[in-house]
Amino acid sequence: MTKYIDTDILVIGAGSGGLSVAAGAVQMGARVVLVEKGKMGGDCLNYGCVPSKALLAAGKAAHHAAHASAMGTTVSGISVDFKQVHDHVHQVIAGIAPHDSVERFEGLGVTVIKGHARFKGHREVEADGHVIRAKRIVVATGSSARIVPIPGLDGVPYLTNETVFDLTERPEHLVIIGAGPIGLEMAQPSGV
């Protein structure tokens, strides 16, 4: 049975942009519904800013240890435990996740619906058995990695910003395609 919800603001997407809008609007007294089909926190928390900075911190620590002799300090037996780096990255994500959680936002007074949003009309959206009628709709769905159509790529296992943080062993070879911020962030600690 379809459940109808009337609200002031409907936010589609629970990444950093959508969460900021939802939290700010509800604190100003607006009725807010937030719809998210994936993980709360979006790319920044789960596949971008947070895990990449945690990985960079691990790489920086290894780099400093390897080059400590330049500052008069000798560190011997330096090794990188890739599984432990993986665990560190996911612990950092887990430490921040409660701030972006369904429970926190429901505690603020936001109605959170986990599901795929589909527009039914000008100010009407359907998601997970709900029809949400909103005075204003904010679409904050973010972006996703584009798989470049490179001949032969479909025949080899490849990683994206969403899967690279699942590695528990250091790959023997790693080719990074793209020299944007994410590509550079992935390349720097991988060379340690």
- What's the pLDDT tens digit per position in 105-126? 999 999 999 999 999 999 999 9
Give the pLDDT of residue 191.
Answer: 63
Give the pLDDT of residue 135.
Answer: 98
Write the pLDDT tens digit of every residue in 25-74: 999 999 999 999 999 999 999 998 999 999 999 989 988 988 888 888 88
Model's pTM, two decimal places?
A: 0.86
HEC assignment per residue over the chain:
CCEEEEEEEEEECCCHHHHHHHHHHHHCCCCEEEEECCCCCHHHHHCCHHHHHHHHHHHHHHHHHHCHHHHCCCCCCCCCCHHHHHHHHHHHHHHHHHHHCHHHHHHHCCEEEECCCEEEECCEEEECCEEEEEEEEEECCCCCCCCCCCCCHHHCCCCCCCCHHHCCCCCCCCCCCCCCHHHHHHHHHHCC
Task: Reply yes or no on whether the pLDDT at 188 is more than 80.
Answer: no
Write the pLDDT tens digit of every residue in 2-15: 999 999 999 999 99
Do 44 and 13 meet the contact criterion of CB atoms below 8 Å apart? no
Give the pLDDT of residue 192.
Answer: 52
Give the pLDDT of residue 91.
Answer: 98
Give the pLDDT of residue 175.
Answer: 86
Q: Nearest 5 degrees, angle CA 154-CA 160-CA 163? A: 110
Give the pLDDT of residue 24.
Answer: 98
Strand bridging mode 124-127 / 3-12: unpaired
Task: Reply yes or no on whether the pLDDT at 75 is more than 90.
Answer: no
Give the CB-side neighbour count of residue 85, counting CA atoms within 13 A: 25
What are the sequence ranges of the domains in the chain?
A: 1-40+101-143, 43-98+146-185
Higher pLDDT, 56 or 191: 56
Which residues are 130's β-sheet partners?
3, 127
Whole-number Å distance between alpha carbons of 191 and 49: 19
What superfamily in CATH does domain 1-40+101-143 come from?
Answer: FAD/NAD(P)-binding domain (3.50.50.60)
Write the pLDDT tens digit of every residue in 92-105: 999 999 999 999 99
Give the pLDDT of residue 110.
Answer: 99
Write the pLDDT tens digit of every residue in 77-88: 888 898 999 999
Give the pLDDT of residue 79.
Answer: 87
Write the pLDDT tens digit of every residue in 126-155: 999 999 999 999 999 998 778 889 999 999
Task: Reply yes or no on whether the pLDDT at 162 is more than 90.
Answer: no
Strand bridging mode 111-114 / 3-12: unpaired
Which residues are 33's β-sheet partners?
10, 111
